[in-house]
Structures are given as structure tokens and as C-alpha cells.
A = this chain, B = another copy of it.
Amino acid sequence: MKTRDRILAKSLEMFNEQGERLVSTNHIAAALGMSPGNLYYHFANKEAIIFELFQRYSTQMHQTMLKIMPTDRPFAQSDKIELFEKALESIWQYRFMHRDLTHLVEDSEKLCQAYREFAHAMIGSIRLIYKLQIDSGLIEATDDEVDSLLVNLWIITVSWVNFLCTTGLFGYSDPLTEAMLRQGIYQIVCLEAPYLRGEARATLVELKARYGKPLLTGQ
């Protein structure tokens, strides 16, 4: 692996496990057994590492969205499940960003701009995927309903980790587990449930069971 990629992989691992705020470039260099000078040769500062990781996450999400849209057949319920699983995989892989998003975006004008472009493009892709589901009879919704659904879907998806951390309602504990993320998908399934038709409606119970209802656990 190239040094640049090793730095990115180790940073991602440490940000995910310890939280981005507690990890400095010196910590990353030490964990890689390299001098801070060598790290700075590749990245000017921690912001540059975070920005590069965001770009990789963003590219991965865009590719997931593109790949999921069939060009030669109608959109199927299995495509939807694949989309949930792939999105979950990316969110899990880059989970530190979902935990610390607000302050990351506030601290970097460049990341703020890139994130806004990402959100805008993703909202467009989600709208397209709703349209494909409507075309193949998996969802019934008016344009206004789709507009509100996709905004709510976006907010719940990107805020889920934060919700777990701040409220502690579902027995959140550090570090985050993949099971906790899967419960966020359960909330999305419930959000869409009233609009599901055909196979999507018929397999709703299975889909809910697949992701697991979050259970309130006191404080």
C-alpha cells in the first residue's frame, strides 16, 4: 500500500474507534511508526486527511446509487435491499463522519461546500430511486409526498448516530456497533411503510425483522 493510502486507512480506523476529536496527526504518525514530518509531506494537516476521507465516502455513495439503478429492467425490491445494505456498509466504514459531522463542517469551509454539493446530489439520486420504485409499483406517492419523504429519509439517516449518542435512548455505548446502525434502517423502513405497495408491502414484516426494531432502554 502506498504511504498516502496507509495514512488514510490508519486515520479512518483511529477516527472511527476513538472519535476524530481525540486523534491528532501526531497520534496517527506514531501509530504508523512514521515521523510527523513524513505524514506532513503527504497531508498538510488533519483537515486535509478528513477532506480526502470525505471524498472517498462521497464517491462510494455516489457509485452505490448509480449501480443500484437498473437500466434494462424495472427496479425490484431486491435492489432496494441491496441499496440499504450498501449504504449501511459505507456509513459503517466512515461512521466517524456521521458522529462528528456538524463540527467537521463548521470547522472547514472547504468541507462545508463539498458536503453541500454531496447532499444536493444525493437528494437528487434518492428522488430518482423513489421515481423508479413508483414506476415499478413498489411505492405509491405523489410528488409532494416524495419530496417530504426524501427530506425525512435524509435527516433520519444522517442524524441516527447522533441521536443514539445524545439521547442514549437505545442503550448507546461507545464504540458504536453495526447493529445500532441497522436499527436506523428499521426507522427508514417504517418511514416508507405507508407508501409501500406490491412486493414491497408483502415483504414488509420480513424487512422490519431484518433490521431490528430499536428498543427503548431507559436512560
- Which residues of A are interface residues toward B (Cβ below 8 A)? 100-103, 105, 112, 115-117, 119-120, 123, 144-145, 147-149, 151-152, 154-156, 158-160, 162-163, 165-169, 186-187, 190-191, 193-195, 213-214, 216, 218-219
Please list the 7 inter-chain residue pairs (A to B) with the smallest Cβ-Cβ separation, ordered nearest first: A194-B194, A148-B190, A119-B167, A159-B159, A116-B168, A116-B219, A120-B219
Instruction: Give the complex CA separation of A12 and B92 in angstroms.
Output: 37
Least CB distance, A127 to chain B, in whole angstroms:
9
CA distance A149 to B156 in the complex (A): 12
A102-B165, A152-B156 known, 14 other contacts, Cβ within 8 Å: A100-B102, A112-B166, A115-B167, A116-B169, A119-B169, A144-B190, A145-B193, A148-B186, A149-B190, A152-B152, A152-B187, A158-B163, A159-B159, A194-B195
